[in-house]
Amino acid sequence: LVQNHPTLAVTFVDNHDSQWGSSLQSAVKDWFKPSAYALILLMKDGYPCIFYGDYYGVSGNPPVHRGIIDNLLEIRKNHAYGEQNYYFDHPNTIGFTRVGDEQHPKSGVAVLISNGENGDKVMNVGKQHAGETWKEATGNVEETVTIDDEGNGRFIVHGGNVAVWIPEDAPQDPKQDARKDDAGEES
């Protein structure tokens, strides 16, 4: 639906019918939700919908994913612009890039997701980023990536995780720290 009719597609990770204990109990495991939210929030097409329970909590339980969702929303607002390139060529490590645009300085994003082992992929973020250093914006990877003359970089992701890369000198809200949950504990 997203590919054929992007203006009609509402993308979501969970909803009130798929939460624990309901007849359509969620098949999306908690460890994968950050990756799923990266897909719906940072890809070009579709209208993403954040599940209330993932953002505010359910039945008095504190939200587990609010920090990463806030971080991804900030990245969407400031960086997820321009042409999109897909790298869905591996059964366990997939990625996509958004090359940015002129209306949003320092925009562009590279997303790499693993549901298995550690992975890496050479992905193109556009020649306009040649020579730039990119950082991983969710706190999941400490290394940086240098973009070559053709706009390519070798991006990495740790197993069972998501890595979201942006230009190192791009502004990022310092209040966002996706590694901490709402209780301030490492997640």
What CATH number has the domain bearing residue 101? Answer: 2.60.40.1180
Question: The domain containing residue 41 runs over which residues?
Answer: 6-76
* Residue pair 157/163 in contact by the 8 Å Cβ criterion: yes
Give the pLDDT confidence score for residue 20 in this predicted structure. Answer: 58
- 81-126 pLDDT, tens digit per residue, is 999 999 999 999 999 999 999 999 999 999 999 999 999 999 999 9
> Has residue 31 been placed in a domain?
yes
Give the pLDDT confidence score for residue 171 in this predicted structure. Answer: 72
Distance CA 173, CA 91 (A): 33
> Has residue 127 been placed in a domain?
yes
Residue ranges in the chain whose pLDDT is less than 50: 23, 175-187
Q: Are 65 and 104 members of one domain?
A: no
Q: Are 89 and 28 members of one domain?
A: no
Instruction: Indicate the pTM of the whole model.
Output: 0.84
Chain centroid, CA 128 distance in Å: 22
Give the pLDDT confidence score for residue 180 in this predicted structure. Answer: 41
- As for how many domains the chain has, the answer is 2
Q: Are 88 and 163 members of one domain?
A: yes
Give the pLDDT confidence score for residue 17 in this predicted structure. Answer: 55
Give the pLDDT confidence score for residue 54 in this predicted structure. Answer: 87
